[in-house]
Amino acid sequence: MKRRDFMAMLGAAAAWPPAARAQQPAVPVIGYANLLTPEATATSLAGFRKGLGEMGYVEGNNIVIEYRWAQNDVGRLPELLADLVHRQVAVIVAPGYGAAFAAKAATAAIPVVFATGGNPVDAGLVASLNRPGGNLTGITNMGVEAAPRRFGLLHDLLPRSERFAVLINQTSPNSEALIREAHTAGGTIGREIEILTASNNREIDKAFDDLLQKRADALLVSPNNFLDSRRVQIVTLAALHRLPAIYGDRRYAEIGGLMSYGANNTDQIRQAGIYVGRILKGAKPADLPVIQSSKF
Interhelix angle 147-157/175-189, rounded to 10 degrees, is: 40
244-273 burial string, b = 16+ CB within 10 Å, else e?
A: bbbbbbbbbbeeebbebbbbebbbbbbbbb
pLDDT, residue 262, reads 87
Could you say which DSSP state residue 110 is in? S
pLDDT, tens digit, 9 for 90 and up, residues 149-204? 898 999 999 999 889 999 999 988 778 888 888 888 888 888 889 999 999 999 99
**Averaged pLDDT for residues 133-156:** 86
Cβ contacts of 85 within 8 Å, gap of 6 or more: 92, 106, 107, 110
CATH 3.40.50.10130 for domain 144-260, yes or no, is no
Domain range summary for the chain, segments of one domain joined by +: 29-142+265-292, 144-260
Which of the following CATH numbers is that of domain 29-142+265-292: 3.40.50.620, 3.40.50.2300, 3.30.200.20, 3.40.50.1010?
3.40.50.2300
122-133 burial string, b = 16+ CB within 10 Å, else e?
A: ebebbeebeebe
**Averaged pLDDT for residues 123-151:** 87
Q: Is the pLDDT of residue 12 over 70?
A: no
Which residues are paired to 245 by β-bridges? 219
Tell me, what amino acid is at 230? R
Which residues are paired to 295 by β-bridges? none
More confident residue, 186 or 46: 46
pLDDT, residue 142, reads 66
What does the alpha-carbon distance between residue 273 and residue 58 come to, in Å, rounded to a whole number? 11
Average pLDDT, the chain: 88
pTM: 0.79
**Averaged pLDDT for residues 44-56:** 95
Name the pairing type of β-strands 64-69 and 245-247.
Answer: unpaired
Q: Nearest 5°: CA angle at 218, between 216 and 223?
A: 115
Could you say which DSSP state residue 63 is in? B
What does the alpha-carbon distance between residue 132 and residue 116 come to, in Å, rounded to a whole number? 14
pLDDT, tens digit, 9 for 90 and up, residues 257-286? 999 998 888 899 999 999 999 999 999 999
Q: What is the DSSP string of 21-52?
A: SPPPPPPPEEEEEESS-TGGGHHHHHHHHHHH
**Averaged pLDDT for residues 105-124:** 92
Could you say which DSSP state residue 108 is in? S
Q: Is 144-260 in the same CATH topology as 29-142+265-292?
A: yes
Instruction: Tell me if residue 129 falls in helix, strand or coil.
Output: coil
pLDDT, tens digit, 9 for 90 and up, residues 214-233? 889 999 999 888 898 899 99
